[in-house]
Amino acid sequence: MSTLLELLKDGQFHSGQALGCALGVTRSAIWKQLQLLEVELGLDIHKVRGRGYRLASPITLLSAEKINRLSPDAPWAVQVFDFLDSTNAEALRSIERGCVAPFLVLAERQTAGRGRRGRKWISPFAENIYYSLVLRVDGGMRQLEGLSLVVGLAVMQALRGCGVPGAGLKWPNDVLVGQKKIAGILLELVGDPADVCHVVIGVGINVNMQASEEVDQEWTSVRLESGKIMDRNQLVARLGEVMAAYLERHRLHGFSAIQHEWEQNHLWQGRAVSLIAGVTKVDGVVLGIDRQGGLRLKVGGEEKAYSGGELSLRLRDDS
């Protein structure tokens, strides 16, 4: 199936006869493989009598070799999978198998992608980036302070460098363009955070997706913002370079060295918001973040700080 995809990925018409000759199979076998591509990968394939078959839109498949060539100084190995339940889940399994960090897990498609608070992350084949970077953390909690916010900055800067100048941050783990989500971050920790542990940095970026009826919030993509199809290998390579620089800065100087830069890029700075934790809601105005990455709100004339993985931030109607 991957060989057939390689032939079709240019988005041009290819006759059944030409495809059959290239693969050494019958036209009937080509037809069956095309049906599998549609059903299993969710690809839209146009079939026109007398012209043949083509993908509705060209695709570029992920390639560890190409990513390494574009970013030769990246300090981690790259693994690319056609299918995974989720890249974070595979990363956690790899840690259990004894794989040595750092390493990066990528997938063309996730069948059970997930975001924060157990939400489903929509993961169509060969359209977006599903990215899980595994790091070993030695020496305690200081290296984890504000880490998801540091990752958000790296994702934002990579997007700006790839044609999305309006990308900005929303506390704690989203990258937005205006009010539309373009990327999300999910961190998972295994081991002893007071000693030696591993952190899985999960990143999902909408790259070439143009339509989805499954997403339950406003969203956008690199393609929708730039008007161009993006080679995801280039974005992965760029993200790796930016991520490595931010992670090293964080390791050497702590989150406080990055705090001001994050606040400067927070789209909801000074806005009236509601902070939601289960059935509890706190209304306030965003003042910024503290030295550990917690949200600072002005609530009833008093400054308060909030942190935690189950918190959700919403703009108030009067903002």
Domain containing residue 214: CATH number: 3.30.930.10
Question: In which region does residue 238 sit, left (phi positive, over 0), alpha (psi from -120 to 50) or beta (all else)?
Answer: alpha
- Annotated binding residue at 87? yes
- Annotated binding residue at 280? no
Question: pTM here?
Answer: 0.90
Residues 20, 23, 26, CA angle at the centre, nearest 5°?
35
* Cβ atoms of residues 84 and 107 within 8 Å: yes
- Annotated binding residue at 212? no
- Annotated binding residue at 114? yes
User: Looking at residue 294, what DSSP letter applies?
Assistant: P
- Annotated binding residue at 251? no
pLDDT at 37: 85
pLDDT at 39: 83
* Shared-domain flag, residues 193 and 49: no
* Cβ atoms of residues 224 and 210 within 8 Å: yes
Please indicate whether residue 181 is annotated as part of the active site: yes
* Shared-domain flag, residues 24 and 105: no
The residue whose two tokens read 């003042």 is 287
pLDDT at 263: 97
Alpha carbons 62 and 104: distance in angstroms, whole number? 13
Which residue among 246, 263, 280 closes a domain? 263
Which residue among 15, 38, 55 closes a domain? 55
Burial of 181: CB neighbours in 10 Å, binned 0-12, 13-18, 19+? buried
pLDDT at 210: 87
Domain count, the chain: 3
Please indicate whether residue 116 is annotated as part of the active site: yes
* Shared-domain flag, residues 187 and 42: no
pLDDT at 223: 95
pLDDT at 196: 86
* Shared-domain flag, residues 119 and 106: yes
> Around 174, how many Cα atoms within 13 Å sit in the side-chain half-sphere?
23
Tokens of 317: 């109607």
Number of Cβ atoms within 10 Å of the Cβ of 302: 8
* Shared-domain flag, residues 224 and 295: no
Catalytic residue, chosen from 170, 181, 223, 296, is: 181
* Shared-domain flag, residues 196 and 301: no
What does pLDDT average to over the chain?
90
Catalytic residue, chosen from 51, 69, 281, 314, is: 314
The CATH number that applies at residue 22 is: 1.10.10.10
pLDDT at 216: 63
Which tens digit of pLDDT belongs to each residue from 168-227?
A: 999 999 999 999 999 999 999 998 877 889 999 999 999 999 877 666 679 999 999 999
Catalytic residue, chosen from 54, 66, 109, 116, is: 116
Please indicate whether residue 281 is annotated as part of the active site: no
* Shared-domain flag, residues 71 and 201: yes
- Annotated binding residue at 274? no
* Shared-domain flag, residues 85 and 183: yes
Q: Which residue ranges in the chain fall short of pLDDT 70? A: 1, 114-121, 140, 213-216, 309, 318-319
* Shared-domain flag, residues 93 and 26: no
pLDDT at 5: 87
The domain in which residue 26 lies consists of 2-55
